Structure 1
Amino acid sequence: MLRVIDSGNMGSSNLGWLRSKFHFSFAEYYNPHNIKFGVLRVINDDLVESNTGFDTHPHRNMEIISYVVNGELTHGDSMGNKNTITRGHVQYMSAGTGVYHSEHNLGKDELRFLQIWIFPDKEDYKPNYGDYRFDWSDRQNKWLHMVSSKNGNAPIKINQDINVYSLELDKGKEINFQVNEGRQAYLVQIEGGAIINDIELNNRDGMEIVEEDILIKAKKTSHILILEMKKEN
């Protein structure tokens, strides 16, 4: 089963300094038929103006992943961490029993990043933070496995049975992705455009995939993220 989520029909917000597309219900956007997808609770596609950002605020019992598309993202938290990442890099945080953090664009250019929230496999883990600076070439025309469960083999491990992959596929090239029985995946067409099993996706669209293998054909250079997980009952 494949279902396209057109970016034009997503929730959105414009606060001036922050312009967002919401793949799922968030903030003032509420759709009772679009709360989550399996253990995936939030994907916000955020555009943040220079020298602005999210001031210190709390989180609890959520696995949080930030994936930078363009610009610089600076994270600070109550555990004493402060780091900046750029295009293709990832910050990850287990909020667990509770943590305060901030996210700012201290660079001169607009920041675009995907803010991803995932339910943990149990509550009240000890809070944890990390970041990983992947080489861009590691995702060119091949899947880069960035995130897995603690039992998986990705360099970033979180407290949930989920796998996160990124890809940049050159125009005209094709690649497969397997979604096995009992599994489902959510795809984000971050940049560019592609044909997926004869269905067209454009910049910032999403797609739900349930127990179905896909063939991706890049109609223009395509930057894609896939989150693969256990099928929701």
Structure 2
Amino acid sequence: MLKVLRAEPKSTFEYGPFKIRRMRPGKIVIDQEAKQGLEQESKQAAEKNDDAFGPLSVIDHANLLTGTLVSMHEHVNDEILSYVWQGSMVHEDSTGNRTPLSSKRIMMMNAGKSFWHEESTPIVAAEMLQIFIRPRQANLEGRVQFFDRPDGIKTKEWTLLAAPEGENAPLEIRQEVYVYDVKLEHKDLIEIPQQTGFAQFLYVMDGEISAENNVLYKGDAVSGDDPLPEIESTGNSTLLCFLVKLDAEAVKDGSISGL
């Protein structure tokens, strides 16, 4: 059975020129059990998973108007993938980096024991995800990585963006998590990445898709106890797929991922 997690308008909050809709990926398990009337199991899942999908803790879907400035602030023990889908955002950090991010340049901040950064949209607005993952160990070295892809998001071909250390991915995550993206056109069919021992979590960044008898819209997500079926794009769509080892050891005191 597929498990669907819908985008919830009530989880949206605004701070001046930017708006964030926060998704707690672990609710895809908890909500499904509640719908089936398994209240006790749902309560136990909430206590066990802390609303996280294994170490995948928070997905913030953000819209930043032109002129937004999120001033310099610190993260501790967060692995943060900054995925700009549309527009551009300027990243600045305590190591001296100042660089624009877009669909052609994405970033992974491995905050570790401390990492400071600032975000702004001085020229154009941006729509993006900030994905917070719990690291395997506390107080590792803070660092930042960038992945340049001049042609942007590939159509009908999954791109591996980030993976655990040693996997030769463009970006390293200090955790048992893989991240892929793809762009689909109307009526495209595609299989979902999978790997033994890892759960799939598929997020609709934009557009609309069909999975079995379920239609998913922008901001929705789907997972399942069995491998996800082939999906069809019922409009131009952008998707992210997370492969997550649900029982991976993880630190739960990150600035955001530990919430």
CA contact 2:55–2:246 (8 Å) conserved in 1: no
Residue type of the alignment partner of 1:23? M
CA RMSD of aligned residues (A): 2.2
Query: Which residue number in structure 1 is paired with residue 91 of structure 2?
Result: 75
Query: Which residue number in structure 2 is paired with residue 23 of structure 1?
Result: 23
When residues 167 and 178 of structure 1 are mapped into structure 2, their CA distance, relative to the original with a 3 A threshold, is: closer
Query: Which residue number in structure 2 is paired with residue 60 of structure 1?
Result: 76
Shift of 1:88: 4.6
After superposing the two structures, state which structure 1 stretch, 191-200 or 136-145, moved more: 136-145
Residue type of the alignment partner of 1:189? V
When residues 98 and 137 of structure 1 are mapped into structure 2, their CA distance, relative to the original with a 3 A threshold, is: closer
Shift of 1:223: 0.5
Residue-pair matches, total: 227
Query: Which residue number in structure 2 is paired with residue 8 of structure 1?
Result: 8
**Structure with greater proportional strand content:** 1
Unaligned runs of 5+ in 2: 26-30, 32-42, 249-259
Output the TM-score relative to the length of structure 1.
0.89
Q: Please tell me whether Structure 1 or Structure 2 has the larger radius of gyration of its CA atoms.
A: 2
1:150-173 deviation digits (Å, cap 9, x = unpaired): 121321112111110000011111
Equivalence map 1:29-178=2 (5 Å): 33=46, 35-107=51-123, 109-136=124-151, 139-178=154-193
Output the TM-score relative to the length of structure 2.
0.81
CA contact 1:210–1:231 (8 Å) conserved in 2: no
Separation in 1, partners of 2:9, 2:213: 21
Unaligned runs of 5+ in 1: 26-30
Query: Which residue number in structure 1 is paired with residue 215 of structure 2?
Result: 200
**SS class of match (1:37):** coil
1:128-176 deviation digits (Å, cap 9, x = unpaired): 1121122446621110111111121321112111110000011111011
Residue type of the alignment partner of 2:114? G
Separation in 1, partners of 2:191, 2:58: 25
2:200 aligns with one of 178, 185, 203 = 185
When residues 45 and 116 of structure 1 are mapped into structure 2, their CA distance, relative to the original with a 3 A threshold, is: same
Separation in 2, partners of 1:112, 1:186: 21
CA contact 1:18–1:47 (8 Å) conserved in 2: yes
Shift of 1:18: 1.2
